[in-house]
Amino acid sequence: MPAAPMHKAIFIFNPSSGRKQGRRAEKIARCAEIFRAAGVAAELCATTHAGSATGQARAAAESGFDTVIACGGDGTVNECLNGLMHAQSHAALGVIPLGSGNLLATDLGLSTEPEEAARALLRYQPRSLKPGLISYQENGETRQRYFIVAAGVGVDADLMYRTGAEAKGRLGIYAYFSEMARMTLRREFPMFMAEWNDEQGIAHTAKVALVMALRPRRFPGLLRRVKLGSDLERNDYRLLLFRTGKARHFLNFFASLATGLNWKVPQVDVVYSTWLRCTPTPLQDPKSIHAEIDGEVLGTLPVEISVEERTFDLLMKEANSH
């Protein structure tokens, strides 16, 4: 029987995602069977369109499911999180990794084999975490979204925007690196203003080309050895601030990460914070700078990132098993 107080779970998945859609559906069905064999009532729920997982997760929580399993990448997990945060009833969130990035699943120590991940989730415990909260501009309105893994403003959001779905389906996370190589041919990236508070509450301001608010400890795949140095349970972010628009500084920094040597790169700051605001420079079109969360492109400047005080439950390993 599962260690977590789990009785009724729903598996939310995108039936049209990926190249081998039939095999994906079969794997998810087998995951549900693993839960049923452990005494958990399990149902499958296919998404119907982009963003539908948000409403489906909310409806599941409000109809009595105590666990929502997001089957997909970080984007699918994000949709389910937002549904649970708006639900009138409580349900824990679990992950079966099937996406191109899977940063959260990697951080949770889950196998990329769905059935193995399902068995692990039965041993995981719900842990209360504070999600991130981002506000941004879209079609002239201020909108908000919750997130778990990461938020970015500037170059990385532009990278997400430029990386096509076909490339992600074929190359996975490495599609981003392929597009990154092409983007560096521009030699210089546009810069904007960033304000943030450090761990001591001291305010800082700088002109940057990229800022990322990260919570996982490491990247997936061959980049597992790259340690980001953050932690989901800290309830804050590790900010990467690139106070430079020169492409060579970006290449220098990511080379330092990929090699595991982590040498100091000039004009790149790494700090912990719970609040960040990004605004355009004078005469800059705010719509020229984009934001992203958990690998999904959102809107444009001005952008504010904070930590939500309300919590959600995420299925995680026990504290002593990290």
| Mean pLDDT of the chain, nearest integer | 87
Which tokens belong to 108?
Answer: 């949770």
Residue 48 included in any domain: yes
Same structural domain, 201 and 274: yes
* CA distance linking residue 64 with residue 7, whole number of Å: 10
Number of CB atoms found within 10 A of residue 258's CB: 14
Model pLDDT for residues 30-42, shown as the tens digit of each residue: 999 999 999 999 9
3-state SS class at 289: coil
End residue of a domain, out of 123, 144, 171: 123
Strands 290-293 and 192-197: unpaired
* CA distance linking residue 190 with residue 184, whole number of Å: 12
AA letter at 32: A
Residue 322 included in any domain: no
CATH of the domain at 32: 3.40.50.10330
Same structural domain, 282 and 147: yes
Contact 40, 7 (CB under 8 A): yes
Same structural domain, 149 and 225: yes
Same structural domain, 78 and 42: yes
Same structural domain, 157 and 276: yes
Model pLDDT for residues 205-215, shown as the tens digit of each residue: 999 999 999 99
pLDDT at 22 over 80: no
Residue 1 included in any domain: no
Cis peptide upstream of residue 302 (ω within 30 degrees of 0): yes
Which residues form the domain of 234?
132-307
* CA distance linking residue 71 with residue 97, whole number of Å: 6
Residue 221 included in any domain: yes
The confidence score (pLDDT) of residue 219 equals 60
* CA distance linking residue 113 with residue 173, whole number of Å: 16
Residue 314 included in any domain: no
Q: Is 267 left (phi over 0), alpha (psi -120 to 50) or beta?
A: left
The confidence score (pLDDT) of residue 320 equals 45
Total domains in the fold of the chain: 2
First to last CA, the chain: 22
Residue 318 included in any domain: no
Q: 270 forms bridges with which residues in the sheet?
A: 240
pLDDT at 168 over 80: no
Residue 315 included in any domain: no
Model pLDDT for residues 233-262, shown as the tens digit of each residue: 888 999 999 999 988 888 788 777 767 777
Same structural domain, 101 and 22: yes
CATH of the domain at 250: 2.60.200.40
The confidence score (pLDDT) of residue 296 equals 87
Model pLDDT for residues 127-154, shown as the tens digit of each residue: 999 999 999 999 999 999 999 999 999 9
Which tokens belong to 261?
Answer: 């040597």
Number of CB atoms found within 10 A of residue 150's CB: 25
